Amino acid sequence: MILQNMAALSPQDVDELLAVEELQLNADDIKQSEAAVASAAAASEPHNVADCAPCHAKKDGPFTIVRKEDGEVGSRDTVPVKEAWGFWCSADHKPIKVRGPKYLVDKKKIDSSPFVFALAYNDVSTMDEKYPPANFSNRQDSFVRHCPYPYPNPPANPSRPFFFVVNLMIPGPPSYSNVSFFLAPSHITGYNSERVKKLQSIVEDEKKTYADKPKGDLAEHEKRIVARLMSESSQMNYATPFERLLDLFLVAPDSWKQSRFKFIPRVEDGAWIVRKGVGTQPAILGNKLTQTYYANQELNYMEVCVDVASSKVGSSLFKLCKGYATTLVMDMCFLFEAQDSSELPEALLGGVRIGNADLRHARQAKNKE
């Protein structure tokens, strides 16, 4: 189907057009629809953030630092932080359902608990390059490098906090990046954890075994690593299934990460056609889009880079959302999928809300660090 006028599409047309598994738009189709999209978006009213409660936010160099009264950085509240390009804040966890403690038996989902990680910062940037930078957290202008000590009562010699970073990359030129920095609670220490270090030693042992047999099957080798990690981690004293899955994610082979990193979208405010296209169904991003992973033990972060344009579905949905971006408010939540009874119930790692995004005013990132 060629989009002649999005506004004139019937519900039946939209059902056919935006079925995620069957979406087959091409660049010419999108180009023909841009005038209709822009016209409809211009006629809509932006999401009003003026009535929201004031946010404890303060500019610190190029970054907006959000702090609670006790001094902790980050937020799990939907209080908007205004930027030149629009606004960001934590997503709302309350509408989200996750797999319950007996999901593998009864298939029942439960109301999610609040996010485990706080949203410390969200960066929307653009570059003149074709591809936006992966491993954004390692750049000299990254929030990870410049974040002040994020917890109350800093010790004399504080260790680095742990960040889980999600980098949504949109190729260009110009290219765009939406990078969400999720801050762990103080008891989750990432690569400084003794449990993580023990799991890493298992991976290193298995790598040495594989190096001695270079003709071995890589997939079987990775399965063996995962099996050992699962067995060893099941004997460790974790407070929650989430903390175990997080530690596994930090050290496991990429193939395992691909099968576990889950994304739940939700349009809080926006045009009906965008709501229909985006939906609310959870998705394992690695099944649809190209993902790469970057870990830095010194800076203590894990970054998941997602190439949004690596599939026709992702590329088309982005172009659809971009047409309505200035009037769109969208939540994106992230978690690890539980696939064994010992990993239940699921818990939301973190979530970000992006609103009224005008990409013409995105921060201009340097082409080089």
Long-range contacts of 40-43 (CB under 8 A, 24+ apart): 40/6, 40/7, 40/271, 40/324, 41/271, 41/323, 41/324, 41/325, 41/326, 41/327
Closest CA to 170 of 119, 129, 121, 120: 129
Yes or no: say if 166 and 334 are a contact pair by the CB < 8 Å rule. yes
Write down the pTM of the prediction. 0.85
Task: Report pLDDT for 369.
Answer: 57
| Domain extents in the chain | 47-364
Res 217: pLDDT: 75
Q: In this prediction, what percent of the chain has a pLDDT beyond 70?
A: 82
Tens of pLDDT, residue by residue over 206-237, are: 888 776 665 567 788 899 999 999 999 999 99
pLDDT digits (tens, 9 = 90+) for 279-310: 899 999 999 899 999 999 999 999 999 999 89
pLDDT digit string (tens) for 237-268? Answer: 999 999 999 999 999 999 999 999 999 999 99
